[in-house]
Amino acid sequence: DTAVSQTPKYLVTQMGNDKSIKCEQNLGHDTMYWYKQDSKKFLKIMFSYNNKELIINETVPNRFSPKSPDKAHLNLHINSLELGDSAVYFCASSQEGYEQFFGPGTRLTVL
């Protein structure tokens, strides 16, 4: 009964490829997020969706595109992967502005 799940946990790919990371929450929350954690462990918001509507879109390259098919899912698609995209990507969810619950993370390595 995992609250926030992400797949895959590890993703190793070549530069220039396109990849997707999937996220699902079973908490009934109305808001979902994508965060990026860089090699220095710094966490930064990328996107946020509230009831399937994009409410935060930070300065992220256009190669990153979130998609929310329903309230429980928020996927992240990345086109033309670059070396600098290597990081850990965390999905999270919350009800309104209250505490966020994080998924286990997806470690993306671009070779």
Partner 1 sequence: AQSVTQPDIHITVSEGASLELRCNYSYGATPYLFWYVQSPGQGLQLLLKYFSGDTLVQGIKGFEAEFKRSQSSFNLRKPSVHWSDAAEYFCAVGAATGRRALTFGSGTRLQVQP
Where along the sequence are the contacts to partner 1 (CB under 8 A)? 31, 33, 35, 40-45, 48, 50, 55-56, 90, 92, 94, 96-105
Contact residues for 29 (Cβ-Cβ < 8 A; gap 6+):
71, 93, 94, 95, 101
Which residue, 28 or 97, has its beta carbon nearer to partner 1?
A: 97
Which residue, 77 or 105, has its beta carbon nearer to partner 1?
A: 105
The least CB distance from residue 97 to partner 1, in Å, is: 4
Give the pair of three-digit tokens for residue 79.
């086109």
Ordered DSSP codes for 38-86:
-TT--EEEEEEEETTEEEEE-S--TTEEEEEEETTEEEEEE-S--GGG-
The least CB distance from residue 92 to partner 1, in Å, is: 8
The least CB distance from residue 80 to partner 1, in Å, is: 25
